[in-house]
């Protein structure tokens, strides 16, 4: 560097950067070559930014420079240089951009990186820490950069990646752009071989929209394949473009390539990945489509072209009908843009609807991977009909937990008189099938949707209706509507009808139970829904279901005391026995014990029993007594 230097300043990298650098420098990743992809991608971003500014009419230094990326290498000195004519950086910008990890979620990123070395390759780019990957191959890195801002001075940055870097302004002439010079490590000599560099660029950077030159030779093919007619694009090209776009290692599950002309022109090339993005929930930033106007990239990962619940979709949208100088800030309010985004959303939903109809097995695979994100769409009211048709649940009419049922399937199997869709929530299919609330539905042969995912409850609660059918939980269902429906099998009752007298005793027993439980229950009533179990808890009308209550409690919401009704099945052996005991002595301690036990067991089944100690103690005492009886000791 033969330039006048202004005061050189030394800075320490931020702690999380140091941690990251330490991992990158000391771990031997098999795919070190991706450092080149990252540097080229930064150069391309910088070129996109300057093109955007210049089409907008902003003042730009060296406006006539061709927009391009150049790669030079020196085998003897073991150096590699990547330069671009992009937006450049000022001293403040280089300190701000390189030296800290700006994006949220980066601390998690570092943890993930430590845990899964094999995945480092596709994680690095995703989390916006790409630049540092250069230290997998570099002994030392120098950056010279000149901002597009006419008054800015060129800057010089240098670091060996160990912990600190230096920056200074240069009193030299430099054209706009950035030059990154890498002194390669001894074990990274391969990156000065022309053939090797070419093949890396072909593999990872082929679709970069600016020319990449090695020794004056262009190495990438610049095509906007989303603009090509579908018939001329081969599956391999789509796959290659998809991998370039997403860093995914597997080809996509679906390719949606659309060219729409009216009322607004746009091309969309969209992909559904074969695997869900395991980082989606912790790194929600990482969704969105790339928005182009007349082939010029306007915005990476635009989040308004598709709603978040379709965030698993990757790809590109390009329109002729938006102005090139559109500002990203006002995009959302632009009428043309909002028409495009509505149409893109419709395209995706229609595509999924076709898939569900014509290829249910493939749709089931889609649902397994992306259903959890898709379900978030319950708040997209403008597309609610389409959304509802695409939802899937497990159901009592399915043979196992993996089969899927739609609302349409359910309603097509419904009983003639049935007007309501019923669902039950539980931790698993087995758990739901043992739920006493289902007994009446079983004896009537009424289908019940089984919900296992906590989100399902929110989904169902916010929908409430499918076509003309109400949706109700088996816990809160209006029993009058259920009772009206025919039984599939005659109720085989092993119990005699209660005599008039006993009827009276039975209702006094219920009152006695209520007085034992006091404020803990809203009431104790005879059950119409049970045909086997002795008791269950129900909430009246619009009350919260037990699972909803649990979710709210977990979220520390004060749900108040949701006291429920304890229902007692008179046609149950235990209850009949209790009735006899009660008739002999209404104050027999067994009544109190059994009532407490019935109540707490019902709470336990719902997952709402806070302290199991009393219940366990009571059971043990009962077992002790019954084993005594068994041995004839009493």
CB 525 within 8 A of CB 566: yes
What is the layout of strands, in order, in the sheet containing 254-260?
254-260, 266-272, 314-319, 289-293, 296-302
44 vs 418, beta carbon nearer ligand ADP:
44
For ligand ADP, the closer CB: 97 or 346: 97
For ligand ADP, give the closer residue by CB, 174 or 568. Answer: 174
Nearer to ligand ADP, 89 or 331 (CB): 89
C-beta of residue 612 within 8 angstroms of C-beta of residue 596 = no
Q: Which of 84, 248, 475, 571 binds ligand ADP (CB under 6 A)?
A: 84
Question: Which of ligand ADP, Mg ion, none binds 43 (CB below 5-8 Å, type-dependent)?
Answer: ligand ADP
Q: Is 128 in the site for ligand ADP (CB under 6 A)?
A: yes
Q: Does 161 participate in binding ligand ADP (rule CB under 6 A)?
A: no
> Shortest Cβ distance from residue 104 to ligand ADP (Å)?
13
Does residue 38 touch ligand ADP according to CB under 6 A?
Answer: yes
- Select the binding partner of residue 97 from Mg ion, ligand ADP, none (C-beta < 5 to 8 A, by kind): ligand ADP
535 near Mg ion, judged by CB under 5 A: no
Residue 86 interacting with ligand ADP (CB under 6 A): yes
Look up residue 407 and give its two tokens.
């609302």
- Nearest distance in Å: CB 41, Mg ion: 5
By the rule CB under 6 A, 98 interacts with ligand ADP: yes
Q: Which does 105 bind (CB under 5 to 8 A by kind): ligand ADP, Mg ion, none?
A: none
Query: How far is residue 501's CA from residue 309's CA, in Å, rounded to a whole number?
Result: 61
182, interface contact from ligand ADP, Mg ion, none, CB < 5-8 Å by kind? none
**Sign for the pseudo-dihedral over CA of 509, 514, 517, 520:** positive
Task: Give the list of residues 6+ apart from residue 447 with CB closer than 8 angstroms, or none.
Answer: 395, 396, 397, 410, 413, 414, 422, 441
Q: How far is the CB of 58 from Mg ion (least distance, A)?
A: 23
**Of these, 27, 97, 221, 346, which contacts ligand ADP (CB under 6 A)?**
97
Q: Which residues pair with 255 in a beta bridge?
A: 271
> CB 80 → ligand ADP: shortest distance, Å?
14
Q: Which residues contact 174 (CB under 8 A, 6 or more apart)?
A: 144, 146, 154
Burial class (CB in 10 A: 0-12, 13-18, 19+), 247: middle
Instruction: Give me the residue whose beta carbon is nearest to Mg ion.
Output: 130
How far is C-alpha 201 from the geometric centre of its chain's CA atoms?
A: 32
Q: For residues 384 and 587, what is the distance between their CA atoms, to the nearest angstrom? A: 57
| 303: its two tokens | 């989040």
Exactly one of 120, 129, 269, 459 binds ligand ADP (CB under 6 A); that residue is: 129
> Which of 500, 524, 527 lies closest to 512 in space, CA to CA?
524
d(CA 287, CA 311): 5
d(CA 32, CA 37): 10
**Closest separation in Å from C-beta 447 to ligand ADP:** 49
Give me the half-sphere count of Cα atoms (radius 13 Å) on the Cβ side of residue 441: 29
Per CB under 5 A, contacts with Mg ion among 80-139 are 130
Q: Are the C-beta atoms of 101 and 16 separated by less than 8 Å?
A: yes
Residue 42 interacts with Mg ion (CB under 5 A): yes or no: yes
Residues 44-83 that bind ligand ADP (CB under 6 A): 45-46
89 binds ligand ADP (CB under 6 A): yes
Binding region for ligand ADP (CB under 6 A) out of 54-62, 127-135, 152-160, 448-456: 127-135
3-state secondary structure of 493: coil
Give the interface with Mg ion as residue ranges (CB under 5 A). 42, 130
Binding site for ligand ADP (CB under 6 A): 38, 42-43, 45-46, 84, 86-89, 97-98, 128-131, 178
């Amino acid at each position: 560097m033969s330039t006048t230097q202004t005061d050189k300043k030394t800075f320490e990298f931020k702690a999380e950067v140091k941690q990251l650098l330490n991992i990158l420098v000391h771990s031997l990743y098999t795919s070190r070559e991706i450092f080149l992809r990252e540097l080229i991608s930064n150069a391309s971003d910088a070129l996109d930014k300057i093109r955007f500014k210049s089409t907008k009419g902003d003042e730009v230094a060296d406006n006539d420079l061709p927009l391009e990326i150049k790669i030079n290498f020196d085998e003897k000195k073991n150096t590699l240089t990547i330069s671009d004519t992009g937006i450049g950086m000022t001293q403040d910008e280089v300190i701000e951009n390189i030296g800290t990890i700006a994006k949220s979620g980066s601390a998690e990123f570092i943890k993930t990186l430590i845990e899964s070395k094999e995945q480092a390759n596709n994680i690095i780019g995703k989390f916006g820490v790409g630049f540092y990957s250069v230290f997998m191959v570099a002994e030392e890195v120098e950056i010279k950069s000149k901002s597009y801002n006419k008054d800015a001075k060129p800057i010089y940055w240098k670091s060996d990646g160990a912990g600190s870097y230096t920056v200074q302004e240069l009193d030299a002439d430099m054209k706009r752009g950035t030059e990154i010079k890498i002194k390669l490590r001894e074990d990274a000599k391969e990156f000065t071989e022309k053939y090797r560099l070419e093949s890396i660029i072909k593999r990872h950077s082929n679709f970069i929209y600016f020319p990449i030159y090695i020794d004056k030779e262009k190495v990438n093919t610049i095509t906007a394949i989303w603009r090509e007619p579908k018939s001329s694009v081969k599956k391999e090209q789509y796959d290659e473009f998809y991998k370039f776009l997403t860093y995914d290692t597997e080809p996509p599950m679906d390719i949606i390539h659309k060219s729409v002309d009216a009322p607004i022109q746009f091309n969309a090339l969209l992909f559904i990945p074969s695997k869900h993005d395991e980082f989606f929930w912790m790194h929600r930033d990482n969704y969105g489509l790339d928005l182009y106007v007349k082939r010029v990239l306007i915005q990476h990962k635009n989040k308004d072209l598709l709603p978040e619940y379709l965030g698993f979709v990757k790809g590109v949208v390009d329109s002729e009908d938006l102005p090139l100088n559109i500002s990203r800030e006002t995009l959302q309010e632009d009428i043309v843009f909002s028409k495009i985004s509505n149409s893109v959303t419709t395209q995706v939903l229609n595509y999924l609807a076709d898939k569900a109809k014509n290829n249910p097995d493939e749709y089931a695979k889609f649902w397994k991977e992306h259903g959890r994100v898709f379900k978030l769409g319950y708040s997209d009211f403008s597309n609610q009909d389409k959304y509802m048709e695409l939802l899937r649940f497990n159901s009592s009419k399915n043979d196992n937990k993996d089969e899927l049922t739609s609302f349409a399937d359910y309603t097509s199997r419904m009983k003639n008189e049935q007007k309501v869709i019923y669902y039950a929530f539980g931790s698993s299919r087995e758990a739901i099938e043992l739920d006493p609330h289902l007994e009446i539905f079983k004896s009537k042969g009424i289908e019940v949707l089984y919900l296992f995912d906590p989100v399902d409850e929110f989904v169902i609660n916010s929908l409430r209706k499918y076509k003309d059918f109400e949706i109700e939980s088996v816990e809160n269902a209006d029993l009058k509507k259920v009772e009206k429906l025919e039984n599939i099998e005659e109720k085989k009752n092993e119990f005699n009808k209660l005599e008039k007298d006993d009827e009276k005793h039975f209702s006094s027993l219920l009152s006695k139970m209520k007085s034992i439980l006091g404020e803990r229950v809203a009431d104790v009533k005879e059950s119409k829904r049970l045909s086997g179990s002795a008791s269950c808890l129900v909430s009246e009308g619009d009350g919260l279901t037990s699972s909803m209550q649990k979710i709210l409690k977990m979220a520390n919401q004060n749900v108040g005391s949701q006291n429920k009704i304890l229902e007692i099945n008179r046609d149950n052996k235990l209850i009949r026995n209790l009735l006899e005991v009660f008739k002999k002595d209404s104050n027999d301690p067994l009544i109190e014990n059994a009532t407490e036990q019935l109540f707490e067991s019902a709470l336990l089944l719902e997952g709402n029993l806070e302290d199991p100690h009393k219940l366990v103690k009571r059971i043990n005492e009962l077992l002790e007594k019954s084993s005594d009886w068994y041995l004839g000791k009493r």
